[in-house]
A and B are shown apart, each in its own frame.
Chain A
Amino acid sequence: MARASTLRLDDLHLAQGQRSVLEGVSGTVAGGAVTALIGANGAGKTTLVKALMGELDPLAGRVECTVPRARRAWLPQQLALDLSFPMSVEELVMTGTWPSHGALKGYCAAHYRRGREIMARLGISGVAHRPLGELSGGQRQRALIGRTLMQEAELLLLDEPFANIDAKTVDILMPIIRQMADDGATVIVVLHDMDHLKRLADDVLLLRDGGGEWLSPAAIAAPGSPAHAAGGAPHA
């Protein structure tokens, strides 16, 4: 059930330090769809994601977002996660109850059950009580997606979620991300791999030369299109 758009970019200008990165990006990100964000290295993908999360103030223009902060989930490429912290996978997934439980409310049996269901869907039930530091990269990524599922995130920003991740994890995560979008969430994924893009994306936003172009996945993934991989310019 697709919903009205939850995210609008209005003539957005962004800078990283003294360097202007994006100038005049506008557009609407559809709710209930997966939007792929592509572009060469340094084109401003991560900068845009930061601005969407409200972590970076725009120089000009605005980001309009109707999703409350607590229902936005962001998995940055460089995780701020402290992996030496003694916490198990299940405990990490359960912290996703923050929007409903906050810092004080106790978890009840129903929430633990939901946590276990989520872990089963992600195939990480076997490592539920393992400390985070002992997981593989793929298991860790699945645990983090588990937290966003628990959070019932309505806006999901994934910065290269499939980089350095095993194929099995990719196969598990793709349909789950698809399902989240089908349930109405707005999903924005930074991607490099054209194969992943073909499988997942409904819309594409290509960042190039400080501007943004909205494209259809078919146009990007067309054979012979040089938009492959690092997101160079597609032939018009």
Chain B
Amino acid sequence: MLDLLHAWLIAPFDYGFMRRAVVGGLALSLAAPPLGVFLMLRGMSLIGDAMAHAILPGVALGFLLAGFSLPAMSLGGVLFGLAVALLAGAVSRMGGQREDAAMASFFIISLAAGVMLISLGGSSVDLTHVLFGSVLAINSTALVLIAGMTSVIVVTLAIMFRALVVECLDPLFLRGQSRYSGWVHSVFLGLLVLNLTAGFQTLGTLMAVGLMMLPATSARFWSKRLEGLIGLAIVLAMLSSTGGLLLSFHLDLPSGPSIILLAGAGYLVSALCGRYHSLAARFRRRARPLERP
């Protein structure tokens, strides 16, 4: 029994690439879920998806100019993502168009531009790699990059936590209290771009959103408190990223989809039997009216 557990859970990490992959996954699992929780609470769950598309042309440009160099691709991704976020914000401010509408327009342009760029300069193998990532090819440069970016995210979130909470709850109050209130939203979007760029190497630009949103949306079925939501989302993300890696190792599956599908399974289970608003909770509520109050 112990041997079996060892073979399943410990032995895979004798390989260097698995060790690096799991560290990268855990680092992402620490940074992404809090962002996802705030996105979800602000009703911006789909903005993450849009931003993920928005970084693609930047990644592609980095790839075209510098070859398969992670720092160049990441830099391109961050710069392009920030540019799209700024443009979308500017359009929504000047035209009265809502930010999500502007964002939707820009991200679809970005996606097309990114795919076009990669097709012009590379092969479909490169495209697959950028879109879906390859957790098993993380080298130590990539690991340092991921760790650096996720550290920036976690530290910045800690510093702006109260401002972010107040901005989500009552933007008008924050506007009265602080001259910097307008920055809170911008910095938050910047962290989002940073997180998606950190995740694209491991999970691909499209899947990076999954590790951010799925643990957050699952946690909503279990906790009504902000600390609970964030803590639980981080735990769920860590379990999915490590479990997904092991599954992909043993069953010879692609790593990105394994991680996200495992997180997706967690979401489905939560939706079925979570404490609040789940199917089971509804069933319990319906069964209760006959009891004494």
Contacts and interface: CB of A to CB of B under 8 A. Distances in A.
Interface of A: 53, 55, 69-70, 72-74, 76, 79-82, 84-88, 92, 95, 98-99, 102-104, 131-132, 147
Contact of A92 (B160, B169, B171): B169
A74 B170 contact: no
Nearest to B223: A86
Given A80-B172, A81-B170, A98-B178, A87 B165 contact: yes
A95 B177 CA distance: 10
A61 B95 CA distance: 28
Interface size class for chain B?
20 to 34
A4 to B, nearest CB: 23
A76 B173 CA distance: 10
B162 A80 contact: no
Contacts of B174: 98
22 contacts: A69-B176, A70-B177, A70-B178, A73-B176, A79-B170, A80-B170, A82-B169, A82-B170, A84-B41, A86-B224, A86-B225, A87-B165, A87-B169, A88-B225, A92-B169, A95-B162, A102-B178, A103-B160, A103-B162, A103-B163, A103-B178, A104-B159
Interface of B: 41-42, 159-160, 162-163, 165-166, 168-178, 223-226, 229
Contacts of A84: 41
Nearest to A107: B162
Contacts of A87: 165, 169, 226
Q: Among the interface residues A74, A86, A99, which one has the most CB atoms of the partner chain B within 10 A?
A: A86
B165 to A, nearest CB: 7
Contacts of A92: 169
Nearest to A84: B41
Nearest to A151: B177
